Amino acid sequence: MTISFKNINIYFEHISEFDWQRKSIIFLHGFTGSANDWKNVATNFNKRFNKVAIDLIGHGKSSSPANIEFYKIDSVVEQIEEVINYLRIKEFILCGYSMGGRVALSYAVKKPNIVKGLILESSSSGIKKIKEREVRKKNDDELAEYILNNPIEDFINKWLDQEIFGTIRRFSNEKIKRIKEEKTKNSRIGLANSLRGFGTGIMPYLDKELKRLNIPVLLLSGQLDSKFTKLNVELNKLIPKSKHVSIQSAGHNIHLEEPSKFIKAVNKYLKIF
């Protein structure tokens, strides 16, 4: 389903039958992803919850406007809130992977009295050191230029060739081909502007805000993803009601690589609601 908001379209899907009386889980995909990424796991989550997946701006079937303002976090929060209001959702948990986790975390610190819980998969709270943030922003800008000036197939190959995604090489060639084909459906302008509007380099560092979060937070990282496991160990110290779970045999994309373990961890967390 698509809704219009400030002359752009935001697409979302019901992954399960929607019941107004239930709490909802809202799923936010990672960079180069879409709502489709969640379908294989979300149907296996506790049936007490509605499951709604959103195509973030610049991705999937949502608009990919040229105006960079639509990709900045304040606008993205507004876009998500528009979907929530349209569905008249009163109580919800945000579940985000990587970039989607950063969006979910940013939403929660901006709207601390609305979000009931967070599931953050391979996510961060931004980059603490200013110089490191500047370097990352420069890299994100250069990558955005590459996206705009090359076939999207070339960019997706380049993106997935990073060491952080090395663990998906265990998949069959056919499965990797399907993953790449799904990602190439995205817009080059949308992906480039996503990096420029809400890349890790431009994202505000959130640590002070995290200490004020008063909701249960599940932090998930893959055991084989040493960078994000370390980041989540640190996040776990900062968020008062958080729990960090390291998933064995998984890299950065846990719900893709080890779906049964991901489902088990999330369902255990959902029992508290």
Interval 243-259: pLDDT, tens: 999 999 999 999 999 99
pLDDT digit of tens for each residue in the chain (273 aa)? 999 999 999 999 999 888 878 899 999 999 999 999 999 999 999 999 999 999 999 999 999 999 999 999 999 999 999 999 999 998 999 999 999 999 999 999 999 889 999 999 999 999 999 999 999 999 999 999 999 999 999 999 999 999 999 999 999 999 999 999 999 999 999 999 999 999 999 999 998 899 989 999 999 999 999 999 999 999 999 999 999 999 999 999 999 999 999 999 999 999 999
And the tokens for 187? Answer: 């817009």
In the chain, the domains with their CATH numbers are 2-126+204-270 (3.40.50.1820)
Q: If you search the block for the tokens 């609305």, which residue do you land on?
A: 114
And the tokens for 191? Answer: 């992906």
Q: Model-level pTM? A: 0.97
d(CA 230, CA 245): 12
d(CA 156, CA 175): 15
Q: Which residues of 118-138 are buried (b: 16+ CB within 10 A; e: fewer)?
A: bbbbbbbbbbeeeeebeebbe
Interval 188-243: pLDDT, tens: 999 999 999 999 999 999 988 999 899 999 999 999 999 999 999 999 999 999 99
d(CA 155, CA 185): 12
